Amino acid sequence: MSGSQDFTGRVAVITGGAGGIGGATAIVLARRGARVLLVDRDRGALERAATRVATEADAAGRVGVFVADVTDEAQVRAYVEHAREELGGIDAFYNNAGIEGAVAHITEYPTEVFDQVIAVNVRGVFLGLKHVLPGMIARGRGAVVNTASIAAATGLAGSAAYGAAKHAVVGLTKMAVADLKDSGVRVNAVLPGMIDTRMLRALVEQLVGDVDEGLAAVAGAAPLGRVGTPFEVAEVVAFLLSDAASYVTGAEYLVEGGALATLDNGG
């Protein structure tokens, strides 16, 4: 392992930590020495994820959990304070929590679902930045990765809320970089494509009905001919959070198997 991707002695906080990409990223970072705090709403799912991380990364004693709703400012403040008081601060922040919402034509999209998706995927990212960044600024160092999506780079039919939210995540990433001039803190975005997660399976079930049939169909959208794995996203996130990416900030990293080169957006 390159020393520039060594996280020994560093604290990483991951929201959406009970999910596929969040959990995979926790394993990658823990394998490289990080102490990891997983944040999510479901305590049971969090504890299962923490057990998996501790086992697969041989990281017993270096994985913690914190139950929080990323849309609630008091709860966001609470997980940040916990990391500062109990772990010594946050060196790496994966601002990852998100939900998929519905698949529907924009004229028929349920307003209450739109509001929920925006709350989690945009407000949650904003609140994470708002409360994590001050500690990093004070220390003069730190790295953040926000999870956007391939939906932030194109228009995807039926995804008004999700697509709008992920475009906003890219915007927040760039605004944060502008506000962080000369701070020593870096902020980047990762844009996953068709990654085999619960979220993708829920989306293809809405679109196609049969999950296996849907996964086979979306696999064909990428020139690599398959869906990606959570660990393939996690490796990119780990790079962006590491010293190996010391001159990378404000970037949008696609992890989508080349799908944008051939994507039919339904237009």
Q: Which of 37-41, 74-78, 218-222 has the lowest mean pLDDT?
A: 218-222
pLDDT, tens digit, 9 for 90 and up, residues 92-137: 999 999 999 998 999 999 999 999 999 999 999 999 999 999 999 9
The alpha carbon dihedral of 176, 142, 130, 126 has a sign of positive
How far is CA 233 from each of CA 2, 186, 190, 220, 229, rounded to the nearest angstrom?
Answer: 19, 19, 8, 19, 7
**Is the confidence at residue 3, as pLDDT, over 70?**
no
8 A C-beta contact, residue 249 and residue 186? yes
Q: How many CB atoms lie within 10 A of CB 249?
A: 18
Tokens standing for residue 39: 């944040």
- The reported pLDDT for the residue numbered 51 is 98
**Is the confidence at residue 1, as pLDDT, over 60?**
no
- The reported pLDDT for the residue numbered 264 is 54
Which is it for strands 142-147 and 185-192: parallel, antiparallel or unpaired? parallel
What percent of the chain stands above pLDDT 90? 78
pLDDT, tens digit, 9 for 90 and up, residues 214-247: 677 776 778 888 889 999 999 999 999 999 999 9
**Catalytic residue among 79, 109, 162, 253, which?**
162
Identify the structural domains of the chain with CATH numbers, from first to last. 7-193+229-254 (3.40.50.720), 196-227 (no CATH)
Mean pLDDT for the stretch of residues 28-39: 98
Among 115, 111, 128, CA closest to 14: 128
Dmax of the chain from CA atoms?
Answer: 52
Q: Which band of pLDDT confidence, cut at 50, 70 and 90, is reported for residue 192?
A: very high
Whether 79 is a known active-site residue: answer: no
The per-residue DSSP string of 173-217 comes to HHHHHHHTTTSSEEEEEEEE-SB-SHHHHHHHHHHHS-HHHHHHH
**Is the confidence at residue 75, as pLDDT, over 60?**
yes
